[in-house]
Amino acid sequence: MTAKTAAVHVLGCKVNQQEAEALAKLFADAGYRLVDFNQPADVYVVHTCTVTHLGSSKSRQMIRRAVRTNPEAVVAVTGCYAQVSPEEICRIPGVDLIIGTQDRVRIVELVEQVAQDRVPMNLVQELEQGESFEELPMVAGNRVRAFLKIQEGCRQFCTYCIVPYARGPLRSREPASAEKEALSLIEKGYQEIVLTGVHLGSYGVDLPGKVTLAGLIRNLSRLQGLSRLRLSSLDPNEFDAELLEALSQSEVICPHLHIPLQSGEDQVLKKMGRRYTTLEYRQLLDKLRLVFPGLAVTTDIIAGFPGETKDQFARTLAFAEEMAFAGIHVFKFSPQAKTPAAKFPLQVDPKEKEKRSQALLKLAQELWRQYAAGFVGQVKTVLVEQEKDSGKGLWEGHTDNYLRVVFPGDENLRGQLIPVTLREIRKEGYIVGTPVG
């Protein structure tokens, strides 16, 4: 009997990517053969994104593509767009199953039920307080960097953000479960673990007792065989004294922190519902750079938030330059239904948003170059991820402070930690180096 086939397509963030890998594993464990999304399959899963209008639009495109590729297939839609707008997805002909951001661990069972009954199901429910953290299966692929999800949900309700509606209330993974999975990843040969979550800094607040991100970092840092521990993203108001102490004492924590700024202008931050000022942000970075000399700080900035004047944007540019970010993720403001900012007056013209976005991207390139230049001539350890341009004897990977490095090597170096002298910055966004010894 020929095995059934399944194809999974993911849109959006690293949390989504990790979840999609887990969904694919659920099908593989159930005996399905995984195929490329562009090939005919018995089941298609589209793990959607809705953080911007573009994410929602691309999600709809991929759903329709699946239906066209095999009209007889079961098409299942999961993820943030499915959670927030199931009624829109219901209107797409050919969709059989809508799950959202909970109950995904049952996806194979639900798909097979739909395949048998041929009755479409919309199982999206409003996420409520008290939901438990959903543990999806761990995926041990060929990657050298493992993503360990420890937290779900958000309660910040920033005025522009759809995530609290898509991901629901805070749910944290039990520390013992997180530590057990980390041990398993280390045993499988992973050199680096990245702690991920929708709102990582809130880890533990929903669990009984005093469970904190700082405590988990301390425990994971003691695990034998772990070379690097990286944090995915933390809001500026989440760095308390305990967390700063845990970061400073860890011998494996990476000197790279992603700390979303969103705007460098206090009035705009207030309208966004962000819980800090530019002064507090500056003071935090000063503290962190004392703890981690050479720290890479990356950030998110929104261009064209409603009511943002040209002068306010100019102050954001100046503040970003002052903060000397090692990287900036730039987002043009995208109004989202259900969020207050979608109804704010003085929406910025799309052409002006594009202009501001380009100015931020240009600044980001220059700031990265300045940051990277400070390490030219130094020896940094590179975690080797893959060959660059197969067959040319070049390998690439990242340093602990997340500089992308390309260097020559004859043997298979994938997954190894290699000391490399950094030699030359390339405009493509990496540094050329030579191995030591």
| Tens of each residue's pLDDT in the chain, 437 residues | 567 999 999 998 888 888 999 999 999 999 999 999 999 999 999 999 998 888 899 999 999 999 999 999 999 999 999 999 999 999 999 999 999 888 889 999 999 999 998 889 898 877 665 567 777 776 655 568 999 999 999 999 999 999 999 898 999 999 999 999 999 999 999 999 999 999 999 999 999 999 999 999 999 999 999 999 999 999 999 999 999 999 999 999 999 999 999 999 999 999 999 999 999 999 999 999 998 999 999 999 999 999 999 999 999 999 999 999 999 999 999 999 889 999 999 999 999 999 999 999 999 999 999 999 999 999 999 999 999 887 789 999 999 999 999 999 988 899 999 999 999 999 999 999 999 97
Residue 394's CATH number: 2.40.50
| Cβ neighbour number for residue 60 with a 10 Å cutoff | 18
174-183, long-range: CB < 8 A, 24+ apart: 174/133, 174/207, 175/204, 175/207, 175/211, 175/215, 175/216, 175/219, 177/135, 178/148, 178/150, 178/216, 178/220, 179/216, 179/219, 179/220, 179/223, 181/138, 181/148, 182/148, 182/220, 182/223, 182/226, 183/223
Query: Model pTM?
Result: 0.88
* Count of CA atoms in the C-beta half-sphere (13 A) of 112: 10
Is residue 131 one of the residues assigned to a domain? Answer: no
Strands 296-303, 327-332: parallel, antiparallel or unpaired by DSSP?
A: parallel
Look at the chain and count its residues.
Answer: 437
Q: Do 53 and 161 fall into the same domain?
A: no
Is residue 425 one of the residues assigned to a domain? Answer: yes
Is residue 193 one of the residues assigned to a domain? Answer: yes
Is residue 388 one of the residues assigned to a domain? Answer: yes
Q: Do 198 and 156 fall into the same domain?
A: yes
What 8-state DSSP symbol labels residue 253?
B
pLDDT value at residue 260: 98
- As separate numbers, helices (DSSP H) first and strands (DSSP E) second, the chain gives 13, 18
Q: Do 109 and 218 fall into the same domain?
A: no
Q: Do 347 and 312 fall into the same domain?
A: yes
Joined tokens for residue 272: 């966004």
Is residue 139 one of the residues assigned to a domain? Answer: no
Range of 319's domain? 145-373
Is residue 335 one of the residues assigned to a domain? Answer: yes
Q: Do 90 and 161 fall into the same domain?
A: no
Q: Which of 373, 391, 419 is the last residue of a domain?
A: 373
Q: Do 198 and 284 fall into the same domain?
A: yes
Q: Do 179 and 296 fall into the same domain?
A: yes
Q: Do 256 and 326 fall into the same domain?
A: yes
64: buried, middle or exposed (CB in 10 Å: 19+, 13-18, 0-12)?
A: middle
Beta strand extents in 221-361 (DSSP E only): 228-231, 256-258, 296-303, 327-332
Is residue 9 one of the residues assigned to a domain? Answer: yes
- N-to-C CA span, the chain: 55
Residue 92's CATH number: 3.40.50.12160
Residue 191 near residue 243 (C-beta atoms within 8 A): no
Q: Do 302 and 395 fall into the same domain?
A: no
Is residue 206 one of the residues assigned to a domain? Answer: yes
Q: Do 151 and 118 fall into the same domain?
A: no
Q: Do 186 and 222 fall into the same domain?
A: yes
Count of the separate structural domains present in the chain: 3
Q: Do 367 and 275 fall into the same domain?
A: yes
Q: Which of 107, 122, 137 is the last residue of a domain?
A: 122
How far is 271 from 276, CA to CA, in rounded Å? Answer: 12
